[in-house]
């Protein structure tokens, strides 16, 4: 007799097609996936990823991660894929400077930078979440930002995913 599997704790985090992805429970008991939109910095519904995750094999473009890796990946993508002004971009510049300094420092003086960089990832992640909450509440953006990609690339690739959420029964099978 096989021992029972431990329950799955949501959200689940993935690196999906080289982009951060989070899977959450819906209020109805189903599942919904959110993938980072590299053109807006927001997380958009991307439920088609759920099928690829379930069918993925070792070496595919799907890798499980934890919350810290998810935040670090999200902020690394945002810092490369977006440009703008305001406090978030100032912190991104600080992090780039710290990373550059890290390369020329000895091991003893590198340690404070190693401690600070994950904090900076969490800080900018929280700043984006607060900014998007304000915008979702109807407030105008508090700073300017735009994608680094050319407009024609954004136009061609920035499309919504029409795949519906997984229903509760489908969610049970997905989580097995």
| pLDDT tens, position by position, 108-122 | 778 787 788 899 999
Please tell me the total number of residues recorded for the chain in this structure.
Answer: 176
pLDDT at 58: 59
pLDDT at 150: 95
**Mean local confidence (pLDDT), 8-14:** 91
**Distance of alpha carbon 75 from alpha carbon 121, whole angstroms:** 6
Model pLDDT for residues 33-77, shown as the tens digit of each residue: 999 999 999 999 999 999 888 887 656 788 999 999 999 999 999
Question: For residue 11, is the peptide bond before it cis, meaning its omega torsion is within 30 degrees of 0?
Answer: yes
pLDDT above 80 (res 107) = no
**C-beta of residue 23 within 8 angstroms of C-beta of residue 12:** yes
pLDDT at 101: 81
Q: Where is average pLDDT lowest: 9-18, 93-102, 146-155? A: 93-102
Tokens of 68: 């810290």
pLDDT at 141: 94
Tokens of 37: 């939109």
**C-beta of residue 162 within 8 angstroms of C-beta of residue 101:** no
Q: Can you give the residue ranges of every domain in the chain? A: 1-68+149-176, 86-143
pLDDT at 110: 80
* DSSP SS3 for 84: strand
**C-beta of residue 95 within 8 angstroms of C-beta of residue 120:** yes
- CA angle at 76 for the pair 74 and 77, rounded to the nearest 5°: 65
């Amino acid at each position: 007799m096989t021992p029972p599997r431990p329950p799955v704790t949501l959200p689940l985090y993935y690196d999906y097609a080289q982009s951060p992805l989070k899977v959450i429970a819906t209020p109805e008991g189903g599942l919904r996936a959110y993938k980072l939109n590299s053109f807006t910095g927001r997380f958009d519904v991307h439920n088609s990823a759920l099928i690829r995750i379930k069918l993925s094999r070792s070496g595919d473009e799907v890798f499980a991660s934890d919350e810290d890796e998810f935040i670090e990946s999200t902020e690394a993508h945002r810092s490369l894929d977006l440009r703008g002004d305001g406090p978030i971009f100032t912190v991104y510049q600080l992090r780039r400077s710290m990373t550059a300094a890290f390369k020329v420092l000895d091991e003893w003086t590198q340690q404070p930078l190693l401690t600070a960089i994950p904090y900076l990832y969490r800080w900018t992640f929280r700043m984006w979440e607060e900014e998007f909450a304000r915008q979702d509440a109807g407030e105008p953006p508090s700073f300017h930002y735009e994608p680094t990609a050319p407009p024609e690339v954004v136009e061609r690739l920035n499309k919504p995913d029409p795949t519906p959420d997984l229903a509760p029964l489908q969610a049970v099978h997905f989580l097995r």
